[in-house]
Structure 1
Amino acid sequence: MAKAYLQITLKINASEREAATKVYTTYKEPFLSGITGAVSKELLVRDEDVQVMHGFNSDADAKAYLESDLFNNDVVVGLKDLLQAEPEIRIYSTF
């Protein structure tokens, strides 16, 4: 069970959501199998935005992912042309 969650909220036009879903799908397995402490990844879609909820074993694992090559060189690059605003990034701890 996750002990920390990384929530990334993305402002993406409805017409671009299929492309954003492709980025999510492409990098879900490498995230789960290659990122230390990763335990889950879910895509949440609302009319207002798209959220990606990542589960981790610890806050430190979530913070380390934000510094990883997978996040910065693959995910961010794949999404940058789709974003209407800067992503909102939050880390939550569970007790």
Structure 2
Amino acid sequence: MAYLEITLKVSNNNRSAAAKVYNDYKGPFLKEITGAKSKELLIRDEDVQVLHGFASVADAQAYLKSQMFNDDVVAGLAPLLDAEPEVRIYDVA
């Protein structure tokens, strides 16, 4: 099991639009992306995190190169971000 954590700086004014991007692609992510196990949206005052669960680190790395991630998710979120996203992949011990 592995996790892909993407931390996004999104102003309060843009959070509903960012949540829409999350909701639009959660189902397709779980159905179409190899090794996808879960996807959660975590919200706090400072930022928003999207936590993706994968079968392996390789699956998480492959998702970051996928058409869905780059052409759909990144394209949808880019105008809403206040800073570059922080991307981390964790392997479960």
TM bucket, shorter chain: over 0.9
- Please give the alpha-carbon distance, in whole angstroms, between the structure 1 residues aligned to 2:50 and 2:22: 8
Residue 8 (structure 2) pairs with residue 14 (structure 1): no
Give the count of matched residue pairs: 93
Q: What displacement does 1:51 show?
A: 0.2
Q: Letter of the 2:8 partner, please give it.
A: L
Task: Report the AA paired with residue 57 of structure 1.
Answer: A
Q: Which runs of 5+ in 1 are unaligned?
A: none
Higher helix share: 2
Task: Select 2:55's aligned residue among 54, 57, 74.
Answer: 57
Aligned position for 1:77: 75
Aligned partners of 2:51, 2:89: CA distance in 1, in Å? 10
Moved over 3 A (4+): none
CA-CA distance at 1:26 after TM superposition: 0.1
* Percent of aligned pairs with the same amino acid: 66
In structure 2, how many angstroms separate the alpha carbons of the residues matched to 1:48 and 1:14? 10
SS in 2 for 1:30: helix
> 2:2 is matched with which residue?
4
**2:44 corresponds to which letter in structure 1?**
R
Shift of 1:35: 0.2
Matched residues in 2 for 1:33 and 1:25: separation? Answer: 14
Letter paired with 1:76? V
Cα distance in 1 between the residues matched to 2:9 and 2:89? 18
Other-structure match for 2:39: 41
Q: Tell me the equivalent position of 2:66.
A: 68
**TM value normalised by structure 1:** 0.97
